[in-house]
Structure 1
């Protein structure tokens, strides 16, 4: 089946997720610098989550551009990913409002690792649907970046029990690793003249 509706629905959900996050930013009641300083944890958690959602949107776009069709399993896997992404505004607001306290930081990490697992499942089902010789399979290879990210998330969750800011630093590290769109897919698309195979 065609992938157009899945892409359109995913884009819409991700746009709503970003909208919800920005609406959680409350305008200060006073016009002083101190008011902004008090909001800095909320703003920092928003920036980090905005980058994460942007990373997922970018890589989701690249991944779907590399395939021609989808199936029922892919539809459900995509919904599984969108479910976990839809929890990002909640944990973002909770973490920021509580100044990166331990439990919200742990929950933030759980949502991030589940997003990563859901994305991995989606990629694997797309590869299964298109075959091990497909452009997507060739581009992702053994997915070292994906596996490394999962390990860092797991480490960050464990570290959260000791020091929450160290865990936040690890979340930032994963965001840095993925900040640029997945060049593996772009390179393979260029090699195949922009056509998915």
Structure 2
């Protein structure tokens, strides 16, 4: 099965997720700098979620670059990932509107955790189709970022019940780790030629 429809559908869903999130931003009623200060928390939660969607879009693109074909299991694993990502607008808005209360902040963390698990499952499904010596498995290697992120999410979730902003801090740290460019796929493609063979 050709992977282009899966990529196009995923790109469309991620674009809609970003659109829904940006529609949650409210324009200040006053035209002063002080008015902007009141919407700063909303903007910062939007920024964090936007960065996460961007991270997933970027890594999803790279992962599929090394896949030559997809099957029904991959399609369902991809939908599983898109489900958790599609909850970002809801969990982001709830966390923001409640002023980072413990439960909404923890739920945001659970959404991040389940999206990471879903991404891992999609990755494993693609690797299973290629074999452990396939291009994706070789490009990923030990994947320390993929292993560290769920730990940070779990610490952030637990911290959210004690001090929600510490929990948010853990979520920010996980995002920052992924913002450092990951050149594994580009390096693999450069060394081995066309992706997805």
Interval containing the TM-score (normalised by the shorter chain): over 0.9
SS at match of 2:162: coil
CA deviation profile, 1:136-192 (whole Å, cap 9, x unmatched)? 000112322111101111111011111111111110111011114531111111111
In 1, the alpha carbon distance for the partners of 2:187 and 2:44 equals 33
Hey, which bits of structure 1, 4+ residues long, moved more than 3 A?
none
SS at match of 1:196: coil
Aligned partners of 1:55 and 1:181 also within 8 Å: no
In 2, the alpha carbon distance for the partners of 1:100 and 1:134 equals 43
CA deviation profile, 1:83-120 (whole Å, cap 9, x unmatched)? 00000011111112222221111010000000000000
In 2, the alpha carbon distance for the partners of 1:193 and 1:82 equals 30
Match of 1:194 in 2: 194
- Residues 164 and 105 of structure 1: is their aligned pair in 2 closer, same or farther, counting only changes over 3 Å? same
In 2, the alpha carbon distance for the partners of 1:134 and 1:181 equals 23
Q: State the Cα RMSD in Å.
A: 1.0
TM-score by length of 1: 0.97
* Matched ranges for 1:76-91 at <5 A: 76-91=76-91
1:36 aligns to 2:48 (yes or no): no
TM-score by length of 2: 0.97
**Aligned positions, number:** 197
1:168 aligns to 2:168 (yes or no): yes
Aligned partners of 1:127 and 1:137 also within 8 Å: yes
In 2, the alpha carbon distance for the partners of 1:162 and 1:195 equals 46
Match of 1:122 in 2: 122
In 2, the alpha carbon distance for the partners of 1:155 and 1:186 equals 31
Aligned partners of 1:95 and 1:101 also within 8 Å: yes
In 2, the alpha carbon distance for the partners of 1:121 and 1:67 equals 15
1:106 aligns to 2:73 (yes or no): no
SS at match of 1:69: coil
In 1, the alpha carbon distance for the partners of 2:75 and 2:103 equals 32
Shift of 1:195: 2.8
Aligned partners of 1:2 and 1:70 also within 8 Å: yes
SS at match of 2:99: coil
Runs of at least 5 residues in structure 2 that lack an aligned partner in the other structure:
none
Match of 1:143 in 2: 143
In 2, the alpha carbon distance for the partners of 1:168 and 1:56 equals 18
Aligned partners of 1:102 and 1:164 also within 8 Å: yes
